[in-house]
Amino acid sequence: MTKFSAKSKLVLLFLIIGFISRIAFSIPVFFDPSRAFACTDARTYHSIAHNLLAGKGFSANNALPYTPETTVTPGYPIFLAGIYAVFDNSTIAVVLFQIVINVILILIVFLFVKKRFGDTAALISGAILTLDFNTALFTTQLTTETLFTFLFISSILFLVEFVEQGRLRYALFSGILIGLATLVRPITLFLGVPLLLFIILSKLSWRKIAGWAIVIAVQLACITPWIIRNKIVFDEYFYSAVSDMNLMRYHAVPLKASLENKPLDLASKELVESALGGKTCRNDAEYFRLTGTGARRYILKHPLPYTGMALLGGLGTLFSPLMMHEAGVFFAGQREPPSGSIMLELISLFSKGHFGDVFSLLWKNRLGYYGIAAFVVFVLYGLFHFAKLGFVLKAYILKGLKDASMLLSLTTGVYMLAFLGLAVVPRLRVPLEPLLALLAAIGIVSKKREKNKEAKHERKNK
């Protein structure tokens, strides 16, 4: 039986406090469930879940003809449908389940860090993750973040255990969790690539290659039924059309708009027309396949500018503190901002050094509109987030990549951020927040240990 020190007991108490604080944080949603639908995606998942329960198929339509979905994978809508079936369509029940899942994840991260880096690092990682507003916010939203993050991080930690202990059952567990995570969000569809890089860099052996193959095989086994469903429904072999949709929307369109100095809507129109070539598509699946192919074709013609844009988008998502619309709706209720996305304009102003205009645009279209509470949270969490990233950097400076968890955090983190294009969306960073908390804790503890070594050295000299 695992024996817990006084610090460990303190962390367990902290987790209880964390659960209570998550409940307290969710009070606005409990009184006004519409605040759980700040994201457009939430309405889509909600509608699909209701249609599944009503026997109307996997569709987000609220009326006939109930067109089958091509971009949404089945994991999260089925999760919602299960809760709705038992708890009478309760949004609050979903939020409570997500709070429990999130607190369990905090405990998993704490135990993992405790085993590898000690009680102090475990306490710090648990505290950082519990206090993380970006994570807490999305436990209150009917979106994939909480469930996906739990599955994704658990799979990563099992893979670390496999690499270090060589037990193939850990690879099996990792594969199951990655497969389930891919059913929730398709971004992990090609996660095998950074996982293979991790395997190669961590003292390659045939056993590790076998473990990696198990992970990939189990992941494919999990998602193959959905691929077969898509072939039957759309007569197309694909897993999810969301990658093609996002490749056009967040990658090719901003790239064309930037290179050719055109408005986004015009760039989009020209790319779509070129991709379709006047063809009338049978269904959404064919439309997204053709436009996705057109997007890839345009990107491949401009590899260097696209690489720079992808780097900018990934760093933007890493450093941008919060989703202001979601945070604003959480504090102020359902309200539409004065304008649509302002991210491209913000990036343009920032790149030109017009920092005053950046703040003015933020205040006019987001911060001032949603109220002082959202503004204060944005500033305070921004300071918290930047400090966290500073300690992450410190961890890599002091520790390097010798520890398997730090190496895997880097390879998977780069993979997750590289897929975003110019979709600078802090929401997409939520799955990485546990890894950032883990790394920040290592950075803080490593700094402390360095000071302790210096102090001991000085005492010896005396």
Look at residues 252, 274, 301 and tell me which one is the last residue of a structural domain.
Answer: 301
**Distance in angstroms (rounded) separating the CA atoms of residues 419 and 314:** 8
Note whether 146 and 92 are same-domain residues.
yes
Within a domain: 331: no
DSSP 8-state secondary structure symbol assigned to residue 334: S
- CA–CA separation, 149 vs 172, rounded Å? 19
In a shared domain, residues 138 and 88:
yes
Sign of the torsion angle spanned by Cα atoms 285, 193, 183, 271 = negative
pLDDT tens figures, 3-39: 666 666 766 777 787 788 899 889 989 999 989 998 8
- Residue 62: other Cβ atoms inside 10 A: 11
Same domain, 190 and 259: no
For the segment 211-240, the average pLDDT, to the nearest whole number, is 95
Question: Per-residue b/e over 368-402, b at no fewer than 16 CB within 10 Å?
Answer: ebbeeebbebbeebeebbeebbebbebbbeebeee
- Could you report the per-residue pLDDT of 104-152, keeping only the tens digit for each? 999 999 989 988 988 889 889 989 999 999 999 999 999 999 999 999 9
Q: Is the dihedral of CA 97, 191, 298, 423 positive or negative?
A: positive
Place of tokens 């389930």: 180
Q: Is 320 left (phi over 0), alpha (psi -120 to 50) or beta?
A: beta
Alpha helices by DSSP H, 118-260: 119-131, 133-139, 145-165, 168-184, 192-201, 206-234, 242-246, 253-260
- Indicate if 287 and 382 belong to the same structural domain: no
Q: Is the pLDDT of residue 221 over 80?
A: yes
In a domain, 1, yes or no: no
Domain count, the chain: 2
**One domain for residues 47 and 80:** yes
Q: 39 lies in a domain?
A: yes
Does residue 163 sit in the same domain as residue 281? no
Residue 72 lies in a domain: yes
Provide the mean pLDDT of the chain. Answer: 87
CB 142 within 8 A of CB 158: no
Give a yes or no: residue 341 inside a domain.
no
The confidence band for 451, taking pLDDT boundaries of 50, 70 and 90, is low
Give percent of the chain with pLDDT exceeding 70: 87
- Tell whether 425 and 286 lie within a shared domain: no
Q: Residue 211's closest CA among 255, 245, 171?
A: 171
Strand partners for 17: none
Residues 12 and 110 in one domain: yes
How many CB atoms sit inside 10 A of residue 262's CB? Answer: 15
Same domain assignment for residues 24 and 97: yes
Tokens found for residue 461: 């000299």
Is residue 340 scored above 80 in pLDDT? no
Average pLDDT score over residue span 146-161: 97
Q: Are 156 and 192 spatial neighbours (Cβ–Cβ below 8 Å)? A: no
Q: At 118, list the tokens.
A: 């000690």
pLDDT band at residue 453 under the 50/70/90 scheme: low
Contact 408, 160 (CB under 8 A): yes
Shared domain check, 401 and 289: no
Pick the closest to residue 323 from 430, 427, 434 (CA basis). Answer: 427
- Tell me which of 264, 279, 301 is where a domain ends: 301
62: in domain = yes
Cis peptide before 65 (omega within 30 of 0): yes
Helix, strand, coil share (%) of the chain residues, nearest 5 = 80, 0, 20
1 — pLDDT class (breaks 50, 70, 90):
very low
Per-residue pLDDT reduced to its tens digit, 48-97: 999 999 999 999 998 888 899 999 999 999 999 999 999 999 999 999 99
For the beta carbon of residue 428, count every other beta carbon within 10 angstroms: 21
Residue 109 belongs to some domain of the structure: yes
Integer Cα distance of 31 and 105 in angstroms: 26
Which pLDDT does position 11 carry in this prediction?
A: 64
Domain hosting 268: range is 241-301
> Are 215 and 107 part of one and the same domain?
yes
